[in-house]
């Protein structure tokens, strides 16, 4: 079974631009979470989607947004990029708890490295 | 804030067992202990998780104390490829959109 895939893997943008990152979850997984990782702040939760609905959101400004499609694929968008948005953006997918699945173990993709100049 | 406390760094000789401790004194009855690792600039890799019983898989063993206030991840025969940052996380059984809260983790260096 293929893992979580993220595209693109690397991206360079300039301040003020906007960017869209894509995440394809593991087949059958319906929950997608996004995280930002920086050297100073570590891994921080951005938001989580399940069945096309945002269920939870971290403490990030409104410039960070996301959505999920009916096939569970997800995108996140960052508008008006700032230098501080340079980070590794990670996507994780999980299968909802059911009789056959005991926990919401999250499986991470390789990440998208965003550099803002 | 992370609900776990881990030592910032540890060294281990290649071929020896690596024992990584984690304190989670405020863990709730419905919260699982998860372990992930992150090799430089890659996405975190799931290792193992448990509730109260000890668990073992092909990668590692997880030992949880009887009071569930701490746990130890054991890599039985560490190799150079096990050099990574290891994260211990506690999270409810059914996340319902709750996020994983990552602390700074333990940087494990496996030495030749």
Share of chain B above pLDDT 90, in %: 77
Question: Can you tell me whether residue B81 is helix, strand or coil?
Answer: helix
B53 touches chain A (CB under 8 A): no
B101 touches chain A (CB under 8 A): yes
Task: With a cut of 60, say whether residue B101 has pLDDT above it.
Answer: yes
Give per-residue pLDDT as tens, B54-73: 999 999 999 999 999 999 99
CA atoms within 13 A on the CB side of A98: 7
Q: What pLDDT is attached to residue A102?
A: 54
Contact A33, A45 (CB under 8 A): yes
Give per-residue pLDDT as tens, B21-63: 999 999 988 888 999 999 988 999 999 999 998 999 999 999 9
Nearest to A111 by CA among A21, A26, A50, A29: A21
Question: Cβ–Cβ of B46/A105 closer than 8 Å?
Answer: yes
Q: Which of B36, B49, B98 sits opposite A56 (nearest CB)?
A: B98
Q: What pLDDT is attached to residue A96?
A: 64
Residues of A with CB below 8 A from B104's CB? 42
Instruction: Give the pLDDT of chain A (117 residues) as one tens digit per residue.
Output: 689 999 999 999 999 999 999 999 999 888 899 999 998 899 999 999 988 999 889 999 999 999 999 999 999 999 999 999 999 999 999 876 554 555 678 899 999 999 999
Q: What pLDDT is attached to residue B16?
A: 97
Q: What letter does residue A101 receive in the DSSP assignment?
A: B
Q: How many CB pairs under 8 A join A and B?
A: 68
Question: Cβ–Cβ of A102/B93 closer than 8 Å?
Answer: yes
Q: What pLDDT is attached to residue A93?
A: 92
């Amino acid at each position: 079974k293929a893992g979580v895939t993220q595209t693109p893997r690397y991206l360079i943008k300039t301040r003020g631009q906007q960017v869209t990152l894509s995440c394809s979850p593991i087949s059958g997984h319906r929950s997608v979470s996004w995280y930002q990782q920086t050297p100073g702040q570590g891994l921080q939760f951005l938001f989580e989607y399940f069945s096309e609905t945002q269920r939870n959101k971290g403490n990030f400004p409104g410039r960070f947004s996301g959505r999920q499609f009916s096939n569970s694929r997800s995108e996140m968008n960052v508008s008006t990029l700032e230098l501080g948005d340079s980070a590794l953006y990670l996507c994780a997918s999980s299968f909802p708890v059911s009789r056959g699945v005991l926990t919401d173990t999250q499986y991470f993709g390789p990440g998208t490295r965003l550099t803002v100049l | 804030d992370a609900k776990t406390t881990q030592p910032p760094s540890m060294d281990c000789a290649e071929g020896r067992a690596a024992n990584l401790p984690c304190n989670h004194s405020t863990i709730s009855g419905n919260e699982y202990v998860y372990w992930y690792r992150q090799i430089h600039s890659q996405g975190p890799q799931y290792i193992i998780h448990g509730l109260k019983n000890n668990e073992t898989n092909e990668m590692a063993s997880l030992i949880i104390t009887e009071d569930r206030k701490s746990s130890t991840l054991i890599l039985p025969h560490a190799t150079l490829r096990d050099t990574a940052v290891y994260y211990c996380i506690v999270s409810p059984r059914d996340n319902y959109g709750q996020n994983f809260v990552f602390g700074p983790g333990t940087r494990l260096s496996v030495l030749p």
